[in-house]
Amino acid sequence: MDYTFFIGPILGGIIGLITNGIAIRMLFRPLKAIRVFGLTLPFTPGLIPKEKERIAKSLGDVVANNLLHQDVIKNGLLSREMDDKIALAVNDLITKKSTSEETLRELFYSFSGDERGQLMITDVTNKMVDFSYQRMVKMELGPLLSEIAVTEIVNNLQGSMFAMLINENLINSAKLKMSEIIEAMVVDKGQGILAGIFEKESNNLLDKRLCDLYTEYQDRIPEFVTWLISTYHQLIDKNIGNLIHALNLSKLVEDQINGYDVLTFEKLILAIMRKELNAIVWLGGLLGCIMGLVMSFV
């Protein structure tokens, strides 16, 4: 049997395997430029070490603009699966803490830290006070309360010796004067009064034991979980744009990749594409074998 017929396909296959293997290897090697007599040898450093910064920027742009853009992240954060995870986590935490002697304040501080937690509580309280104060000023309580107060006074004086002194002008004058006093009191002292009320009530709530809170409000837990998820949706809807802009996902990915050394970057790529790169090497061997077979007939 003449085995010379197989020499061409075998040599072609070997050459194809070697050349494709070298080509893929040259994607990563050498790591640095090689200079001979002051001249840089072609294809040194390897393509990926040479173009690492450009590749990092391109990957960052692809991830931010095509894979994880605002709509994708928003849909993920507001998905039904995420709602179920939040509800499950909250219910598990409530069940776990339902018999705890720990106070609500201590629980909150365990997540935030004492100093940061107190700052957050103070900030929320101040915002609630400011919001309530502005609403109270806009309600124009002076005319409303003076109307109620003067009407009540007049009704109580009916049948007494002072009833004969009451007339329409006196009533209107009293309403006007009382309205001015109430409005001035709301403007001058309303914020301080509200601050005292909110501080007292927030302290009473925060210093309650979790077991007592569970006993008192266990029937309203589903309502609380629903409110929490609704508030979460509102926060995401309102702030997702600013969050994505502040995150700057493209730059984050780019900096992360640039932070890797070339060997680590090589391992990452090989971990993702090792099977495909090996397939290219074997494809080179197959094509070389076919070309050698064709040449055997020429």
The verdict on residue 121 lying in a domain is: no
- Per-residue model confidence (pLDDT) at position 88: 94
Domain span holding position 79:
1-92+261-298
Beta bridge partners of 39: 36
The verdict on residue 141 lying in a domain is: no
The verdict on residue 67 lying in a domain is: yes
- Per-residue model confidence (pLDDT) at position 180: 85
The verdict on residue 246 lying in a domain is: no
Structure tokens given for 45: 């450093």
The verdict on residue 75 lying in a domain is: yes
- Per-residue model confidence (pLDDT) at position 292: 80
- Per-residue model confidence (pLDDT) at position 166: 63
- Per-residue model confidence (pLDDT) at position 47: 80
The verdict on residue 256 lying in a domain is: no
**Alpha helices by DSSP H, the chain:** 4-28, 47-50, 52-62, 70-77, 80-97, 104-112, 114-138, 141-157, 168-206, 210-217, 221-247, 249-259, 262-297
Q: Which residues of the chain have pLDDT under 50?
A: none
CA distance 199 to 144: 27
Contact assessment for residue 91 and residue 221, using Cβ atoms and an 8 Å cutoff? yes
Contact assessment for residue 247 and residue 105, using Cβ atoms and an 8 Å cutoff? no
The structural domain count of the chain equals 1
Q: What is the pLDDT of residues 167-181, one digit of tens each?
A: 677 677 777 888 888
- Per-residue model confidence (pLDDT) at position 220: 92
Beta bridge partners of 209: 103
The verdict on residue 156 lying in a domain is: no
- Per-residue model confidence (pLDDT) at position 291: 86
Averaged pLDDT of the chain: 84
The verdict on residue 160 lying in a domain is: no
